[in-house]
Structure 1
């Protein structure tokens, strides 16, 4: 390996290259003893183990430490391999400065760090002083400062009996329908099946029954063979051929975008939101009982290995993006993937996550890309506000303040930060790839530190907003509840094989998650259509249906949908079309 690969490094890793060169020479010559001045670029703790009590270097331990150190450097990007795709030089992933410049200008970011720091510094100083005064007067709703520690009252769910009664009435009026009929009806109205084109010819699928059965096989975790056995109107060979020719990751993304855009255009979807806010959360699925399915173990979910479907849901309740990630992987790097690459007409401005999706890097990139990032932080009282001025400038809240922002690092790395932001905005790189690469650094490099310092500024401003604005706390709590509702529907659909992921490849797992997301989006669209019809019927009978109560209903219900049983595709295709509401006999006669 050492002879075949050509390693290169930046200024800070010259000793590592020297150690590799010495190891090459020793292997070629067959020598066993190391010179006394052999380079040891690894940790000090390792050096104490490598060097014996007699002062001689143990060759075997030195070689192991050098290779382990090289592995860490390759993972971090401090060392790269010439002509490699996976271990390239870090800045080779980014756009060049001339190409990134117009993109950054369109985002409204200043070309120099001085302008940005001056503006942010003034705002941060004013906000901290204002917060200190309001905190001293106990003028913050739900926030108290006792014994040098913040006490924040939890957000309470307000019971609304009228809204619950209205939701029950609408649910009772929804037509009873099979999932096969629902998918055919939504496909007929939106045309989302046209996104599934033949890999070779580019033509749409001529067999809609087979295509919908293939999608539902992914969504329910039933599999193609069992779907064919439970279906009428499709065969196993048809499903296998359809899956190979038409099912791809980009086809699923395009079809989901068609559904989300169609739902966004429905006037009734506006009762829940205008499509400018969203939330994201991960849902754990256990792997197969026997054998490896590519999943990892997370103690939070028990002893079973598995994976997580990380999904973005808009305020209109529609899931517009999904990623399959390891259960042991931090969720934060994937927050920006959904916000920047969803490909729909949604204009997301504000995004909510729980603590697992929050890091200072995400705060920094969200702010610079134009998103307001609002996580619900579990350890909020333990986090420190980061000032740019001296801590002594805010004596009354000094216990709440952490270290000062290192503005010098931001100034030095500003050009590289802008290149990274421009590359993400242009879609040149995936945010998760860059954030995971930065997180893998054994020692933080300067770009990583600069992003973290920018993130501390943005996080401090957000924390002040959170403490001063109870409406923001309630919005975030309500937004995250949308993700929880989607999780419940997921568990109702993804039931076969005990809801376990049996696929070994990441590609097959992504198909499962994408098919599930597509079916949920179809259900949300269908429910919205008929909830609108039910609300109009109630209004025609002089029953008051105010929009402020409709806002507390949800199109994620499924009690009226039959997910299992025989899948009668021919009958579903023949009966595709608008259904009548499920009205009481006296109401129907009237």
Structure 2
């Protein structure tokens, strides 16, 4: 600790919220005694010392143990930084995200435009009437349908009504769908993954989006081949070596290394991926699957065996090691349109809005499905303010709380569930600040994940966070009522989440090298590699969709009647017809058959060998 603490005390200025005052006071005390051999420790601020630390900090004679106190302050400071109670002003990661919100004259001039864009009134009274009417109507409709809804029932648990929802049964596959799947699968050509990349480039030109880092227009012959080879090496996690061919200029080690260093980066990966996502929207089959308005979000976990600060621990996913989460977004057309690298397994809900607001494709999703881990009242509130529908799959609906605005309304069988009263006055008092938050997110003045982190911090949320959460309780209750009342809605959510999980399964198969572990030490390298993985999976999805579309057209030409509901249940995530592992050749030149040696390589051509 003494190696870094003096420099830390001297260099970094911290500030924080009201709840961080005890920590900042203790930090200032440490700063005041730094360098003193025998400081007066009896005046040390002890408000941050909990019972666990008190046994170590306060000795039997009542004196303060300096070392233990310093460790206690550092632990509290670290925790406060992570939950955004304490800020480092000049840090890009730990600065106060609220300082970037629209303020003063900037907000005054932007308010009217923000309200028009979000279709929200400048005061809450009008919206309150609409929400009150809407919530009352949905409560009454769900209550009226309850007796005929076989999937739900209410049980008594510790003297209170608790909702029980029966899970969805697996959908049967009609014989027509089984036959269609078999026919389409049998018609897909067998192909190698490099051919898939080159063919999709020929159709879309996605490799042309990879430009040199210097922004010059310098192009080299067969650059698209080199780009596709590097993308394959990254996505399959096999490195460049298996792809090196000294007899092909586009595949020499020097060319591939040069392309990897100068062409593959987040900017070019995002542009190329956007071209693929846009191309997918043009297929008739993709339009049957969805219109791009619906998406799902989920995390794909990777172990990181190398030492890096951009990884975290989680015994469930990484065992005794550390890892990262690739939090990615899947459209209802099976394409991935955004991905975020998360150290370890931070709460998924923090990154939901970032994916929607910062994605750069032609899609405009308005509804997002996630697993239970992605939901909170604040998320519901912010999604609603920004015009999005948040639709999580609920595994613990019995623990969900239903809220009401009208305390006297009679909702029949649901009265026992609707026992929580909303504080609409809290929303009204903070409505302008809530609009300011939504406007700042929409205009991009503040990072969504940083703001979410500050709003959902610890046990003492700010008044603004409470107000957004209170609004979220209205929206959440509307969602819960629709969720239990409509089996088709639950099925639609499950279908989209399964699409995202299917993409993850395909990603695992593609990312087969080095035991499926990410061995990049730095965040940029991790982003580039997993960005390449997402892009290659999109290439496979696009290629499959193209040929499945052609196969279905061919079947129609042959007079076969294809049902729309069967086509809607096809998936472009199959890979059995694609060779992902390369090919091996078992042949020898005649001289080798007779015991002669191959010619030795020239050591003066460094591009053609690796030092061992």
Q: Answer whether TM exceeds 0.5 for this pair.
A: yes
Match of 1:308, SS state, is: strand
Name the counterpart of 1:587. Answer: none
Q: 1:336 to 1:204 in 2, by over 3 A?
A: farther
Alpha-carbon distance in 1 for matches of 2:425, 2:363: 37
Aligned with 1:113 (options 114, 124, 127): 124
Alpha-carbon distance in 2 for matches of 1:3, 1:345: 48
Answering whether residue 101 of structure 2 is matched by residue 94 of structure 1, we say yes
Match of 2:391, SS state, is: strand
Name the counterpart of 1:449. Answer: 466
Q: Deviations over 1:97-124 (max 9, x none)?
A: 2365223431112222333333323322
Match of 1:265, SS state, is: coil
Name the counterpart of 1:475. Answer: 492
Aligned with 1:151 (options 150, 164, 174): 164
Q: Work out whether residues 230 and 567 of structure 1, in 8 Å CA contact, stay in contact via their aligned partners in 2.
A: no
Aligned with 1:282 (options 299, 302, 315): 299
Task: Note the 1:386-405 alignment, pairs <5 A.
Answer: 386-390=403-407, 396-401=413-418, 403-405=420-422
Q: Deviations over 1:509-530 (max 9, x none)?
A: 2112111111111122222222
Aligned with 2:209 (options 183, 192, 195): 195
Aligned with 2:235 (options 219, 222, 236): 219
Alpha-carbon distance in 2 for matches of 1:366, 1:309: 22
TM-score in terms of structure 2 length = 0.84
Alpha-carbon distance in 2 for matches of 1:471, 1:55: 66
Q: Work out whether residues 76 and 438 of structure 1, in 8 Å CA contact, stay in contact via their aligned partners in 2.
A: no
Q: 1:502 to 1:488 in 2, by over 3 A?
A: same
Task: Note the 1:30-45 alignment, pairs <5 A.
Answer: 32-34=39-41, 39-42=45-48, 45=51
Q: 1:48 to 1:526 in 2, by over 3 A?
A: closer
Alpha-carbon distance in 2 for matches of 1:452, 1:156: 33
What is the CA distance between 1:53 and its match in structure 2?
6.8
Q: Work out whether residues 272 and 551 of structure 1, in 8 Å CA contact, stay in contact via their aligned partners in 2.
A: yes
Q: 1:44 to 1:100 in 2, by over 3 A?
A: farther
Q: Work out whether residues 20 and 66 of structure 1, in 8 Å CA contact, stay in contact via their aligned partners in 2.
A: yes
Task: Note the 1:110-509 alignment, pairs <5 A.
Answer: 110-135=121-146, 138-147=147-156, 148-159=161-172, 160-203=174-217, 205-206=219-220, 207-228=223-244, 233-288=250-305, 294-301=310-317, 303=319, 304-390=321-407, 396-401=413-418, 403-441=420-458, 443-509=460-526
Q: Work out whether residues 191 and 578 of structure 2, in 8 Å CA contact, stay in contact via their aligned partners in 1.
A: yes
Alpha-carbon distance in 2 for matches of 1:305, 1:87: 22
Q: 1:396 to 1:564 in 2, by over 3 A?
A: closer
Q: 1:26 to 1:280 in 2, by over 3 A?
A: closer
Match of 2:164, SS state, is: strand
Q: Work out whether residues 292 and 331 of structure 2, in 8 Å CA contact, stay in contact via their aligned partners in 1.
A: yes
Gaps of 5+ in 1: 569-590
What is the CA distance between 1:437 and its match in structure 2?
3.2
Name the counterpart of 1:588. Answer: none
Q: Work out whether residues 154 and 164 of structure 2, in 8 Å CA contact, stay in contact via their aligned partners in 1.
A: yes
Name the counterpart of 2:602. Answer: none
Q: 1:99 to 1:182 in 2, by over 3 A?
A: farther
Alpha-carbon distance in 2 for matches of 1:22, 1:228: 60
Aligned with 2:9 (options 2, 5, 9): 2
Alpha-carbon distance in 1 for matches of 2:489, 2:45: 55
What is the CA distance between 1:3 and its match in structure 2?
3.5
Q: Work out whether residues 386 and 438 of structure 2, in 8 Å CA contact, stay in contact via their aligned partners in 1.
A: yes
Alpha-carbon distance in 2 for matches of 1:48, 1:262: 62
Q: 1:553 to 1:75 in 2, by over 3 A?
A: closer
RMSD after superposition: 2.9
Alpha-carbon distance in 2 for matches of 1:178, 1:99: 56
Alpha-carbon distance in 1 for matches of 2:350, 2:262: 32
Name the counterpart of 1:24. Answer: 31
Q: 1:105 to 1:45 in 2, by over 3 A?
A: farther
Alpha-carbon distance in 1 for matches of 2:218, 2:136: 58
Name the counterpart of 2:4. Answer: none
Q: Work out whether residues 192 and 582 of structure 2, in 8 Å CA contact, stay in contact via their aligned partners in 1.
A: no
Aligned with 2:528 (options 511, 514, 521): 511
Q: Work out whether residues 273 and 535 of structure 2, in 8 Å CA contact, stay in contact via their aligned partners in 1.
A: yes
What is the CA distance between 1:311 and its match in structure 2?
2.0
Q: 1:477 to 1:77 in 2, by over 3 A?
A: closer
What is the CA distance between 1:133 and its match in structure 2?
4.2
Q: 1:5 to 1:522 in 2, by over 3 A?
A: closer
Alpha-carbon distance in 2 for matches of 1:93, 1:317: 35
Q: Deviations over 1:147-185 (max 9, x none)?
A: 333222211222222112101101111122221122111
What is the CA distance between 1:216 and its match in structure 2?
0.8
Deviating more after overlay: 429-438 vs 364-373: 429-438
What is the CA distance between 1:83 and its match in structure 2?
4.0
What is the CA distance between 1:548 and its match in structure 2?
2.2
Match of 1:481, SS state, is: helix
Q: 1:125 to 1:567 in 2, by over 3 A?
A: farther
Q: 1:534 to 1:442 in 2, by over 3 A?
A: same
What is the CA distance between 1:263 and its match in structure 2?
1.1
Q: 1:267 to 1:5 in 2, by over 3 A?
A: same
Q: 1:27 to 1:310 in 2, by over 3 A?
A: closer
Alpha-carbon distance in 1 for matches of 2:117, 2:552: 43
TM-score in terms of structure 1 length = 0.87
Q: 1:535 to 1:24 in 2, by over 3 A?
A: closer
Q: Work out whether residues 73 and 442 of structure 1, in 8 Å CA contact, stay in contact via their aligned partners in 2.
A: no
Q: 1:439 to 1:198 in 2, by over 3 A?
A: same
Q: 1:397 to 1:271 in 2, by over 3 A?
A: closer
Alpha-carbon distance in 2 for matches of 1:13, 1:285: 34
Alpha-carbon distance in 2 for matches of 1:230, 1:98: 63
